[in-house]
A and B are shown apart, each in its own frame.
Chain A
Amino acid sequence: MRRGIGIQAAQKQTQTQKQLQNVSEQLNTENINKIKEQLLVFKENLEIFATKHKKDIIKNPEFRKYFQDMCNMIGVDPLASNKGFWCQVLGVGDFYYTLGVQIIEICLKYRSSNGGLMEMDTLAEHLRKLRGKNSQEISCDDIECSISKLKVLGNGFNIIKVSGGKKLVQSVPCELNKDHTDIIILAQDNNASITQSLVISKLKWSEERINNVINFLLQESMIWIDEQSNETIYWFPSLWSNFSFE
């Protein structure tokens, strides 16, 4: 009796499990098919959208930003892979990757002059020159987006926010702490230069603290010394408004 009951129960359980598996497989298959259909519809809609608005996305930086924001809300990163929909259909990936290469090229060219710091506006101007008049319009948002993708390559590119909504592009892998940033902000409001007395009067720092920051920035070639004044002046080439090193 026990043996019979055990065997039958086991057999019944096995049969039940098989049946359940079949059912679940069916359900999964149906779900997958539905999702595939939805993706196809999505893709078709995207292609229609792309056909209509491709030029706008490529030519209009504002439109591009809205597109980017929409993707972020959905949780899709159109730049994460070159094989994604958006890159294939819209050419957005190529646009930003090309821009990234050009940004690297420009930062490398001027690194020895400005120590690897460059104002966002200056970089944008260089990009416009490099890309020529007939190329697409570039906005600072585009540059930021491209730089954020360059971070995947490791330490090297960073964006520093300074006062007045301005931003500096840093293309060397050194750590700028708050002291350095404060000095840069102070220099920005003082015609791209600082003196020790200015720092003392504005930031109330000790001499040792000032010297530490200045020596670091000197070592990194981010500031240049000017000793033909009553007091030594330290200049930030990266904050000069024109293309000083052309």
Chain B
Amino acid sequence: MSNQVFQFPPYYHKEPFFTIQPILNTRKKQFQMWQDLILQYCRYYKIYELDINESIKSNSVLFNNEKINRKLSREALKSIIDDIIENGFAEWVDKEKEKEKEKDKDNNNNNRVLIMWRKPDEWASLIYKWVADCGLLNTVLTVWEIQNGDDSKKQEFHQLNTTILMKSLKVLEKQSKCQTFSQDENVGVKFFSI
């Protein structure tokens, strides 16, 4: 992982990919390609949050191809992110504040977006399977243990973003497979056998 670099797909090196297409069908295809690229890139580097302004200002390689002298504009990236959110693979980090800001009609402050290159449902399945396989059903685990414990080092959800992890646990709660509770600043979770 330390020496390897993400391999960009061939279309990343094609100039019109960085211009939002005016025709609906073409734009749909383009957004699909950008979504695939962003999700794959974030999955590869285990990135869970993107800051739109920061990415544009720092000329993140994901949105700026220097070889062909093309980069995504902030407006273009915003519309692509909106599309990814609509498809359920992303969420605004300041979602609750967003409602207040919408009242103020100030849309430029939506910067940070949560990238869910794997949806909470899938994380939930992985976590529950791991818990079951380790014989940890009907025991109490802390959220920290799931994220950072020695037992989960080899699991894909090791060092998983807290927000996404909590979403996953909510999914399991709805399925009556676990119960979360808080004590001071610690969050614990008990998993049940079905």
Which positions in A face B, CB cutoff 8 Å?
Answer: 112-113, 115, 193, 218-219, 221, 224-229, 233, 235, 237, 240, 242-246
Chain B interface mostly: helix
Contact A242 B10 (CB under 8 A): yes
List 11 additional A-B contacts (Cβ < 8 Å) besides A233-B15, A235-B14. Answer: A112-B29, A115-B26, A193-B15, A221-B26, A226-B70, A228-B19, A228-B69, A229-B15, A244-B14, A245-B10, A246-B10
| A226/B19 contact (C-beta < 8 A), A242-B10, A246-B10 known | yes
Contact A228 B18 (CB under 8 A): yes
Within 8 A of A (CB), among B47-89: 69-71
Which of B33, B69, B71 is close to A245, meaning CB atoms less than 8 Å apart?
A: B33
Min CB distance B57 to A, Å, is: 18
Min CB distance A151 to B, Å, is: 25
Task: Give 28 CB contacts A-B under 8 Å.
Answer: A112-B29, A113-B29, A193-B15, A218-B22, A218-B26, A221-B23, A221-B25, A224-B16, A224-B17, A224-B21, A224-B26, A225-B21, A225-B22, A226-B15, A226-B19, A227-B19, A228-B18, A228-B19, A228-B70, A229-B15, A235-B15, A235-B16, A237-B14, A243-B10, A244-B11, A244-B14, A245-B10, A245-B33
What CA separation (Å) do A246 and B11 show in the bound complex? 8
Instruction: Confirm or deny: B9 has a beta carbon within 8 angstroms of a beta carbon on chain A.
Output: yes
Contact B16 A226 (CB under 8 A): yes
What CA separation (Å) do A101 and B18 show in the bound complex? 34
What CA separation (Å) do A183 and B19 show in the bound complex? 21
What CA separation (Å) do A140 and B25 show in the bound complex? 30
B14 contact set on A, CB distance < 8 A: 235, 237, 240, 244
Which of A113, A225, A246 is close to B19, meaning CB atoms less than 8 Å apart?
A: A225
Which positions in B face A, CB cutoff 8 Å?
Answer: 9-11, 14-19, 21-23, 25-26, 28-30, 33, 69-71
In the A-B complex, the 10 residue pairs with the closest CB atoms: A224-B16, A226-B16, A226-B15, A221-B26, A112-B29, A235-B16, A227-B19, A244-B10, A244-B11, A226-B19
A113 contact set on B, CB distance < 8 A: 29
Residue of A nearest to B12 (CB): A244
B22 contact set on A, CB distance < 8 A: 218, 225
What CA separation (Å) do A91 and B31 show in the bound complex? 44
A221 contact set on B, CB distance < 8 A: 23, 25-26, 29
What CA separation (Å) do A219 and B27 show in the bound complex? 11
A235 contact set on B, CB distance < 8 A: 14-16
A245 contact set on B, CB distance < 8 A: 10-11, 33
Min CB distance A39 to B, Å, is: 54
Residue of A nearest to B25 (CB): A221
What CA separation (Å) do A225 and B9 show in the bound complex? 19
What CA separation (Å) do A244 and B29 show in the bound complex? 13
Min CB distance B136 to A, Å, is: 42
